[in-house]
Every structure is written in C-alpha cells, then in structure tokens.
Chains A and B, each alone.
Chain A
Amino acid sequence: MTKKITLNLITCRSIQQGVGMEAGKTSKKYFDACSIIEMHEDDMKELGIWQNTNVRVTSSTGSVVVKAVTTRQELVPGLAHIPMGPWANQIVSAYTYSTGEPCFKGFPIDVEPAINEPILSAVDVVKDACGLLKK
C-alpha cells in the first residue's frame, strides 16, 4: 500500500522562482524552481522517499504532481513549502474569508509518492485544470 502523510503547506516566493519568472514562464529555470515541494528530511523518511522523487500533493481543492526536495531554508517537520506559481495554485483554496485574499499559507495537504507520474509544464498544468489541454 502506498504511504501517505499529512503536512501543513506554505507557498512563498523564492529567488530562483523570481529569476525563473523573469526568464519566462515557459523556461526550464521556472519549471525547475517552482514544480517542487520542499520537505523536511524526517517527513521524507516517513514517506519512504528519496530526494527528487515525484510526489502527488492533494488538498481539499485539488491535486498536483511535483518533485520532493530538501532545502537550505530549514523547515520544521510537518511543514512543507511549494514556491508560488501555477503548481502551488492547483491546491490553494480560492476561499478568501471576505478579505479578497486566498489562503496561500497554512493549509493541510496529503503527500504520497507518485514516482511514475509526470510533472506537467507551467502552461499545461493551468490548461489541464481549465479543460483546455489537448491530449
């Protein structure tokens, strides 16, 4: 049976995300910088995965495949980070508590290994969710 763990997710800017964004949303730099989930090593061990394994991240809103990595900007166990971008926004709820501001930080997600599932490109992940991706 595939293991699954529940973590608390935050989505933030990173300098690599900024550089990638300016290099172009279709660039490899942007893809490499944003289609990842930063996790604590303990959580990776618990999930039974290595670095650079593809994982499926699911929230109450949706689901997305990204690559699991560790980070220099240390997280506490139980906390995970996906850089802001189209991958993160597949799972961010649009509910705004009447402030206009969605909850980009601090919501529960389930993470499970998805070694054989591909990561879609920035444009494709949005198109797919909008039903515009020609398969």
Chain B
Amino acid sequence: MSKVIPDVTCPFCGTLCDDLEVTVSDDNKKIILVKNACAIGAEKFNHTKEPGRVIRPRMRQPDGTFKDISYEEAIDFTANMLVKSRKTLMYGWASTSCQAMSIGHEIAEKVGGVVDNCATVCHGSSLIAIQDVGIPSCTLGEIKNRADRVLFWGCNPAHAHPRHMSRYSIFPRGFFTVKGHKGRKIYCVDCRHTDTARVADTFIQVKQGYDYELLNAFRTAARGGPLPDEIGGVPKEKIYEVVEDLKTGRFGVIFFGMGLTHTLGRNHNIDIAISFTRDMNEFTKFSIIAMRGHWNVTGSGQVLSWQYGFPYAVDLSRLNKARYQTGETTSVDLLTRNEVEACFYIASDPGAHFPIEAMRSSSKKPTVTIDPHINCTTEISDVHIPVAMVGVETGGCAYRMDNVPIETRKVVDPPDGLLTDEEVLTRILARVNELLGAA
C-alpha cells in the first residue's frame, strides 16, 4: 500500500509552493507520484529515484578519478582544511535549511571564513539597493487577495517560477480579486517576447540594457513631466498610457528579476524601480517584490542578517567582527583576486553558475563540496560529501521570496547511511573545535 502526504513544500524556487501531494511507498523509501508541482519541482522529487546516486563521500585522486572514503575521513579532511586556511570561502547555503546555515556560520566564526550565498550572483544588486533606499513590499498573499495591476519587469516566471502566476500573481481569485485573471491587468517589460509576455495584457519591449532609462521615464510620466519621443525603444505615448493605467488600479505590484540585476546599472536599476514604486504610492497602493530564485536563498539572507547584520558576503576572517563590502567580500571578486586559501561549497553549484575565471581560481585551491548530487563543482573538488536532500529526505525551515518562513517536510527516507547537512556540519564543527583546542 502507498500513502499520500498532503501539503508538502516544494524545494525548488522562491515561490515555495506548499500544496504538493506526494505519494510514497509503504516502507517510506520511494516516491511514486508527485501532484500539483511544476515540471521542475516534480523532477526534483522524482530525481531521488534515479539510479547511480552517490551515497558515500569521495576523494579525488591524482589521476582525476574519485575514491570512496568514509564520512569520518571526509569530515576530518574538511575540518583540517578549514583550520589550516586563514580565509576560506564558504559559499552556497541557498538549498539547505536555516538550521544548517546557523551551524555553518558557527564554523565560519571559528575558522575565519567568508560566508556568501547565491544572492551574490543573483539578487545581490537588489539587496544593495534595498540598503540604499528601503523597500515598500508586501507578502504574496496580499498580491493574491488585492493586486489588480501586476507588472513583471525583467523576469520570466513562466520559466523560472512556473506556479507563481497561478498561485499568486495572475490567475487566482482572492478576497478582493474575485474575478481572478479578468480583474487584473498584467504588464510585462522585457527585451524579448518571453512566455510571460504572452500572458500579459500589455508587453513593453525595451532595448536590452535600457531598463534604467525606461524606469526613469516611468517616474517622469507619473509626475506628468515631458518625455522625448522614444526611450529605450519604447514610444512616449505608450509610457504615458501604461503609467496612467497603473494609477487607476487599487493595488499595484512590480515583480522584478535578473533582467534588472544582471544588466549594466545593477543596483541602480533596482534603486529606481523602488523609487518608482514609492512615487506610485502618491496615487494608489503600490508594492515591489524581488523574484528570488533558489528556494531558500531568502532564508540565508535572513539568518545572516539577524546574526551579523548583513544579508550576504559576510567576512568573518577577523573572527570577532563581521565585515561586508560588495566587490571586496563577494565570492566572484574574492576568487578572481585569489584572496581565499580554500573553498567550502554547500548546497550550490558555483562550477556551473560562476564565470569560469572564478572557477579556474577555485580549482587550484583545496576544495570541499557538500551536495546531494554530482555536479560541475563536485567534479573539480578534492572531496565531495553527499547528503540527504533538504525538503525531500529531511525537513527544515525555509523563507519564501516575500520573507515568509515555511517549514519544509521530509517525505521519504534518504538512502541508508546518508547523513543530512545538519549532521555533517555538526560533526565538522565538533572536529574543528577539537583541532582548535589541540592547537
């Protein structure tokens, strides 16, 4: 007999859908069916069934092959590497639980590490802008129940957050939005006609890299100022029309993504998007939300913020004080300038997602990667420690993109003998304490 587990939280993107139904085998070993998840979420759950999964730590040999080692050996290697290195990059954290992060930060405090999360190559620019100008934001529940003007700027939820539109932003019927999709006006600003643009009522095609100029024009139009005939490829008539339309809404919201944070201007693009939101509050209620990618990257920012006061790139190498300076303590800069002596990656794959120049530098340093699967980083690491998947094989706290904490659930048992992130980090911390005590 199989059993159905309701209300499972999906550990893929920042939308953290918490209405999944997962059918598992009686012995709690196998996932049989996943309901309600998007294509990516379903793949994540179903992936646990794939054969060939690594279940023992592995150490890279001089000839490039990997040899299985015990957890004790792997933990000892990691602790020794951390204690020996004067400055270690401890990057990742976005796909693990807040509890595990907290233990990791304790290790960083002991050994003088730099703790950085995936925001550094994702919404880091947004965090800089939020520090500069603040953010008038709200929860996704408020969007569902109130928003009647929704603007997607430089983001493509149809691909990156597949259920965002059906759960919160476009289609659902809410308390004050009883007509659902029909009661909302959807706008999409992008440099290409994305699948999100296809479901929007109005698509505004901006020239790639002209988001700042266009947002500036939106601000001017909101105040009734004059505009040149065309800004970033968009005629001024269209800008006036859209802004007037936004003003007539009862509750508007801007969702923004990598289209703003990755292009030239970075934090200034977000800065002006937030300022436009603030301006719009002169006319109606308006909010802005960052489309956070990894399911718990927001959680990493939260935990780091309440522990050290900074949301990412926290340098603890001075042991008794936390420092943060983007461009200096951020992962890509640290690696390209060769400023760290060892690398410790957990729950992320910088090998695939960092510019290659950074990874070239990383590959020359002692490296340990903690990840459930083989990826581009594990294959250039000295030691790979496999762990149970958080949100599937073990539970833990995560934060949704609107900073709402949601508990993830364990649905199946991990393969026999596989430890969780929390267990591995606790044992590394204990070994680090032993080594430091002996020194």
Contacts and interface: CB of A to CB of B under 8 A. Distances in A.
Contact size class for A? 35 or more
B23 interface: no
B192 interface: yes
A100 B376 contact: no
A128 to B, nearest CB: 10
Nearest to A74: B193
A3 interface: no
Interface string B9-52: 00011000000000000000000000000111001100100100
B162 A15 contact: yes
B258 A105 contact: yes
A93 B355 contact: yes
B125 interface: yes
Nearest to B156: A12
B356 to A, nearest CB: 5
Contact of B380 (A73, A94, A104, A132): A132
A106 B208 contact: yes
Most buried by B among A26, A62, A73, A97: A73
A92 B356 CA distance: 7
Nearest to B116: A100
A103 B269 CA distance: 14
Contacts of A4: none
Contacts of A76: 191-192, 205
Interface string B322-345: 000011101111011000000000
A17 B261 CA distance: 20
B354 interface: yes
A86 B353 CA distance: 6
A96 B360 contact: no
B112 interface: no
B363 interface: yes
Contacts of A79: 191-192, 208
Given A18-B13, A100-B331, A126-B352, 20 more contacts: A10-B192, A15-B160, A18-B160, A23-B43, A23-B47, A24-B47, A24-B374, A61-B355, A62-B356, A79-B192, A79-B208, A86-B351, A86-B352, A89-B356, A97-B266, A100-B333, A101-B261, A103-B262, A106-B209, A129-B356
Interface of B: 12-13, 38-40, 43-44, 47, 50, 63-64, 120-121, 124-125, 128, 156, 158-160, 162, 191-195, 205, 208-209, 258-259, 261-264, 266-267, 293, 312-313, 326-328, 330-333, 335-336, 349, 351-360, 363, 373-376, 379-380
Instruction: Return the 8 tightest CB-CB contacts between A and B, nearest first.
Output: A100-B330, A98-B327, A130-B363, A94-B355, A18-B40, A94-B357, A22-B43, A74-B193
9 contacts: A10-B208, A21-B352, A22-B40, A74-B192, A76-B191, A86-B351, A94-B355, A106-B263, A130-B359
